[in-house]
A and B are shown apart, each in its own frame.
Chain A
Amino acid sequence: MINNIAIKGLLASTLTVLLFISNANAAGEAKHPERNTYSSAGVLGKFDIPSIQRGLQVYVEVCAACHSMDLVAFRALEEIGYNEDEVKAIAAEYEYEDLLDDDGELMFRSGIPADYFPSPFINDKQARSANGGALPPDFSTLVKAREHLSFLPWASTYGEDYVVALMTGYHEEVPSTAPEGFELASGLYYNDYYEGNAIAMAPPLFDDMVEYADGTPATMHQMGYDVANFMSWASDPTMQERKEMGLVVMLYMIVFVTLLYFTNKRIWRKIKKGEDIDPTKL
């Protein structure tokens, strides 16, 4: 009888999931980003350290001019393959407000690993004023904030894919694929993947814009991919630790549950068959 219920329940939920599917692609006019391959994807996902390091370079040399990353401290860079001295050197490139001196004047000091990446603007108003009224979003959790997961992998938008697609989805002029009657307001740019297609950010990446320390050719797509990997790490720095622990938990639980299954079966053996019941006394 339990199977009977389970089957009906399964049918009912399948029906509902099918309804979800039928409407999965209905919303939004923006193009759906293509899926790229990442070493961080999947159950055994690991951070792609060389790519993340290149992404940091792109962030520091290009993106950081407008985008803050308030929640990431320099000390966290040790997680992506830098040693203590390298982290100290990266932090020291920045200047921070310090205590007041004896005359009440602000002193300045260079950054230390405990400092957080500095914001390019003093406040949001200044950021908007410098960017034609648009506020460049903070990078700390941005990949997570752009990730729309669905029951179906192909209907899902992964944050990294969105970043790569956005970086490479610009058109110099409004293309013929634009929605009918599309008018691009001045100061905005056409992008296939941005909701509404009109984005205030100018195309940020060009081929050979940075010179990668490891000699990788800095194509626009490569830089977009690297910065997406970097932002993905910044949004979810414990991803690898999480998946590694998950594997141990899963293996342990599967063995444990198997034992529990046989224990339960053995305890119930007589009761299940009704061997304790005296039919004459019923």
Chain B
Amino acid sequence: MSSDKKYVPSSPTAKWVEDRLPLMGLIYSSLGSGFSAPRNLNYMWNFGVLAGFMLVVQIVTGIVLAMHYIPHIDFAFDSVQHIRRDVNYGWLLQAIHANGASMFFMVVYVHILRGFYFGSYKSPREILWFLGIIIYLIMMATGFMGYVLPWGQMSFWGAKVITNLFSAFDFIPFIGDGIVEWLWGGFAVGQPTLNRFYSLHYLLPFVLVGVVILHIWALHIPGSTNPLGIDADGPYDKIPFHPYYTAKDAFGLGVFVIFFSIFVFYMPDFLGHPDNYIKADPLVTPAHIVPEWYYLPFYAILRAIPDKLLGVVAMFSSILILFAMPWLDGARVRSMRFRPLSQFFFWIFVVNTLFLGYLGQLSPDDILGFGWTALTYAQISTFLYFAHFLLVMPLVSRMETTKPVPISIAAAVLDANKKG
């Protein structure tokens, strides 16, 4: 079952088309029976498909919303309300799109952590990993600009805070002083800012589609990793993508749609900020300016560093450091199933990052346990975040004694069945 089958057109018409444009063959060998995947993928491997699904959902709902939205500082807020009140099923499209952004980030975070845990970034999948990081960065930019479009209080002040970060680069000769004005298209966040954010928010998802195609292309060279982390090159190690993984992905997708629907239909505002129901007012600063939940860990890192430039550098580094992971991790074994110590530190890392997210939505001078401020905790957490990559990962991965790895996936399957 391991060899990849080739597409055989079943009718003369299909053959005629295939000889001229081998589109069916491409689909067959990338998503159909002609593409084979390791037989032992667990449900953690569903999240790539879920992320792809969310990208399509966001593009489709976004295109319809764009037909009714008005990118003007005087009408943007009202036009979103118009969509929710007067456009046929506008309330549904708007709720799907707004909550869809959160869902997209949720599944992508699981997808990234899946990669951490099972060593998906390790050779020969480095470029696949890089493309994933690029996708994530484009997502962050797209999500940020999308959040500005409803032109509520948090939209406006969030845009102001985030764009102001670039003033940290004012030491660069000639261009440094003008970066922020250049981003704004003026001397404050205003009409030109909203208009260009709208333009880019419409463009970037299509750039995302392009990078996603590269990501899938790069995936199809070595094929998926698997929970055992060993190469799937034994005679019974792989099975056709269709029907096995199409069926498994369909079930996973169904469960995910239920989860998504809970938010869309029963708590559409839970993940948003109430201040975004107030029209943007440049003269009234909200008590707490917080970004969307999916940026909070990075916002906490930014605020943990007292120096503005170093804070911005730390924030960007916290994501860019992922590019170095294939070399920071020197272990020969991919999966953390066989690396108990790495596994332990992985969970420390997850909890620490969630804690950073929690700190990101507090005011830095809030007092937490032991009478320390949120700022102090954020500094400790930021240190732990970087220490994970720069100290723990290089050392533990090279020094840890790993558990014995099975000789092949098929052997592991038989073994597991023998044990019951």
Contact = CB atoms under 8 A, between A and B. Distances in A.
Contact of B247 (A16, A264, A276): A264
A145 B278 contact: yes
A242 B265 contact: yes
Contacts of A250: 258, 261, 265
A246 B274 contact: no
A16 B347 CA distance: 12
B274 to A, nearest CB: 5
A44 B372 CA distance: 44
Dominant SS at the B interface? helix
B358 interface: yes
B268 A274 contact: no
Interface string A9-20: 100110110011
A106 interface: no
Interface stretch (B22-30, B123-131, B307-315, B348-356): B348-356
Interface stretch (B49-57, B59-67, B78-86, B216-224): B78-86
A277 B414 contact: yes
A16 B277 contact: no
A30 to B, nearest CB: 12
B186 interface: no
A67 to B, nearest CB: 14
B270 interface: yes
Contacts of B243: 267
B408 interface: yes
A221 interface: no
Interface residues of B, number: 63
Interface in A1-59: 1-2, 5, 8-9, 12-13, 15-16, 19-20, 22-23, 26-27, 43
Interface in A244-273: 245-246, 249-250, 253-254, 256-257, 260-261, 263-264, 267-268, 271, 273
Interface stretch (A146-154, A173-181, A208-216): A146-154
Contacts of A70: 78
B337 A1 contact: yes
Interface string B212-253: 000000000000000100000011100100011001101100
Contacts of B117: 5
A257 B277 contact: no
A276 B257 CA distance: 33
B91 A238 contact: yes
B410 A277 contact: yes
Contact of B265 (A15, A141, A245): A245
A238 B84 contact: yes
B274 A144 contact: yes
Contact of A246 (B261, B270, B363): B261
Nearest to A13: B354
Nearest to B113: A9
A268 B247 contact: yes
Contact of B368 (A23, A149, A261): A23
7 contacts: A16-B355, A26-B366, A237-B85, A242-B268, A253-B257, A256-B254, A281-B235
